[in-house]
Amino acid sequence: MIQPVIEKIILGIDPGTTIMGYGVLRVKGTKPEMIAMGIIDLRKFGNHYLKLRHIHERVLSIIESYLPDELAIEAPFFGKNVQSMLKLGRAQGVAMAVALSRDIPITEYAPLKIKMAITGNGQASKEQVADMLQRMLHFSKDDMPTFMDATDGLAAAYCHFLQLGRPTLEKGYSGWKDFISKNPDRVK
């Protein structure tokens, strides 16, 4: 069960080196509401380092505009092209560093987990994810972005919203003997 909050702003980011998507959710009680989604267009920058600087500037601007309490970011998945993977990791790292500079906690989610949380299918297409978000968050088809990277960023934020109130395991156990030795009061 999702634990109610007075108000929480969640920024979701879908990292990219050509188009980076973002979405911002406001959660009041247990009700999420989309307050923004968009893209950071990096196509005009030929130099990768200039792209990184632009990511830094734009993510900082988004954070200053919406004052998120938490950042949910899609984790890069392993691809065949090592150079692309490296560049994507740098882009993600810059976005994370900006959040960290503002003391915003970060949670990474695998693409499969995000798609599964939104659609129930880890292999869902970007269009299926966007359509499901549009239905769940009740925004009009007119508000649907041209680039699905924006809805992918929103999907990361929504996936994080769905995790609110879920218990996290504070301490790990290597087996039943380890559990019993660390919790003798719970065993009869």
**Catalytic-labelled residue, pool 7, 14, 57, 170:** 14
With beta carbons less than 8 A apart as the criterion, state whether 116 and 132 touch: no
For 19, the token pair is 């188009």
With beta carbons less than 8 A apart as the criterion, state whether 70 and 108 touch: no
Residue 185 designated active-site: no
Residue 142 designated active-site: no
Q: Is 142 annotated as a binding residue?
A: no
CA distances from 73 to 149, 160, 171, 187 (A): 12, 9, 24, 39
Q: Is 149 annotated as a binding residue?
A: yes
**Catalytic-labelled residue, pool 64, 74, 152, 178:** 74
Q: Kindly give, in sequence order, each residue whose CB lies less than 8 Å from that of residue 4, ignoring residues fewer than 6 positions away.
A: 29, 30
| Residue 79, helix vs strand vs coil | coil
CA distance 179 to 58: 46
Residue 143 designated active-site: no
**Catalytic-labelled residue, pool 127, 149, 178, 185:** 149
Q: Is 74 annotated as a binding residue?
A: yes
With beta carbons less than 8 A apart as the criterion, state whether 74 and 114 touch: yes
Catalytic residues: 14, 74, 149
Which residues define the annotated binding site for Mg(2+)? 14, 74, 149
Which residues define the annotated binding site? 14, 74, 149
